[in-house]
């Protein structure tokens, strides 16, 4: 008897969904790792306290938000243990992405201008790498634990509640760790760049979190659609 999950039915919906969600998770995570160094500013229609007239955040924010969408769908469909395996294997895959990027940057380039552009665009700053890796491993595991803690207490109903609460709390952890480590602790302790002033750190953190919280609420219908499509 074959162990291939697609052997009995090439279009088995559950198996296809598992592969699709893992693929989305890994692609979004790799994209976030490569785009985290670029800081973007999104103008707001009105200025907000602490944040100001615009939200300043890493370019990886949207890609990283997709990882929580994928992991919450996967957690609902395949359980806590399987999701934690995906999260932690993907964490190790981060180092493979970094190794491949660094090896490419270290290789001699034929065109110096192109090589310099690659170094500027893809050369990840040490403080950003440290902050993003630590934030990832803590927040993603927290997301899985909270998601299933709520499910254990409320049963299979209230998917919206565990999706929003798990993502909202894990994104708060992610933002605090990333901003704190990348822009304050690493520069202060190891001299990697200059630490940002407290007011700038607060504006950066609060702005990022507000956007991530909005995404967590808006992606809830998508989680329902994916889960229903697979189960039905």
Q: Where are the domains of the chain?
A: 13-231
**pLDDT tens-place string over residues 203-231:** 889 988 988 889 888 999 999 999 999 98
Rounded CA gap, 112 and 96, in Å?
Answer: 26
**pLDDT tens-place string over residues 12-63:** 888 899 999 999 999 999 888 888 778 888 898 888 888 889 888 888 888 8
**pLDDT tens-place string over residues 149-169:** 999 999 989 999 999 999 999
pTM: 0.86
Rounded CA gap, 51 and 210, in Å?
Answer: 10
What mean pLDDT, rounded, does the chain reach? 88
Which one of 3-12, 42-51, 73-82, 108-117 scores highest in mean pLDDT? 73-82
Nearest CA to 70 among 139, 141, 17, 31?
Answer: 17
Rounded CA gap, 152 and 88, in Å?
Answer: 22
Q: Which helix (H) or strand (E) holds 47?
A: strand 39-48
pLDDT the model gives residue 167: 94
Q: Which two tokens stand for residue 210?
A: 């507000």
């Amino acid at each position: 008897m074959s162990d291939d999950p697609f052997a009995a039915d090439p279009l088995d919906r559950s198996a296809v969904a598992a592969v699709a969600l893992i693929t989305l998770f890994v692609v979004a995570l790799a994209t976030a790792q490569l785009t985290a160094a670029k800081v973007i500013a999104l103008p707001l229609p009105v200025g907000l306290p602490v944040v100001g007239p615009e939200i300043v955040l890493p370019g990886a924010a949207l890609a990283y938000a997709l990882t929580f969408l994928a992991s919450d769908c996967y957690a609902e469909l395949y359980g806590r243990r399987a999701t934690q395996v995906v999260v932690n294997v993907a964490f190790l895959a981060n180092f493979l992405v970094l190794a491949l990027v660094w090896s490419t940057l270290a290789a001699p380039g034929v065109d110096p201008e192109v090589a310099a552009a690659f170094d500027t665009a893809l050369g990840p700053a040490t403080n950003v790498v440290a902050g993003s890796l630590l934030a990832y491993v803590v927040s993603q595991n927290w997301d899985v634990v909270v998601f299933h803690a709520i499910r254990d207490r409320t049963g299979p109903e209230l998917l919206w509640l565990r999706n929003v609460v798990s993502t909202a709390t894990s994104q708060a952890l992610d933002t605090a760790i990333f901003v704190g480590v990348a822009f304050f602790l690493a520069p202060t302790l190891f001299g990697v760049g200059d630490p940002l002033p407290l007011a700038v750190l607060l504006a950066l953190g609060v702005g990022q979190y507000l956007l991530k919280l909005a995404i967590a609420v808006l992606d809830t219908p998508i989680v329902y659609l994916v889960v229903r499509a697979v189960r039905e």
